[in-house]
Amino acid sequence: MMAGLGLVWFFAPTTVYAAGLAQETGGDPYASLAAAIAVGLGSIGADYAVVATGAAAIGSIADKPEAFGLVLIFVGLAEGIAIYGLIIAFM
């Protein structure tokens, strides 16, 4: 219950600002809000992926140190999710 109320207080000023900005520019009132959500959720997803792959990477490197390069690639691919969210926000 309190988390939902916190989200309302978090998004309400952004929605009001987006609506006012759209009246000034004649654009879509929720375009900036949608871009912010795309970047924010993409970043949260990337954080979760980096945590999961990073923990597995540390365990793998502890057992087999020569796998460092391969494991680093997988962690880098997980960070790419945030970049995909940023690209979607610019579309």
Residue 11 confidence (pLDDT): 58
- Domain residue ranges of the chain, discontinuous segments joined by +: 2-90
pLDDT tens-digit map of 22-73: 566 656 778 888 888 888 898 999 999 999 999 999 999 999 999 999 999 9
Give 89's contacts (C-beta < 8 A, 6+ positions apart): 34, 35, 36, 38, 39
Confidence (pLDDT) at 23: 61
- Regarding pTM above 0.75, the answer is no
Cα–Cα distances in Å, from 11 out to 18, 30, 42, 90, 91?
10, 12, 17, 20, 22
pLDDT at position 36, please? 86
- Superfamily of domain covering 2-90: F1F0 ATP synthase subunit C (1.20.20.10)
pLDDT of 19: 61
Q: Is the pLDDT of residue 5 over 70?
A: no
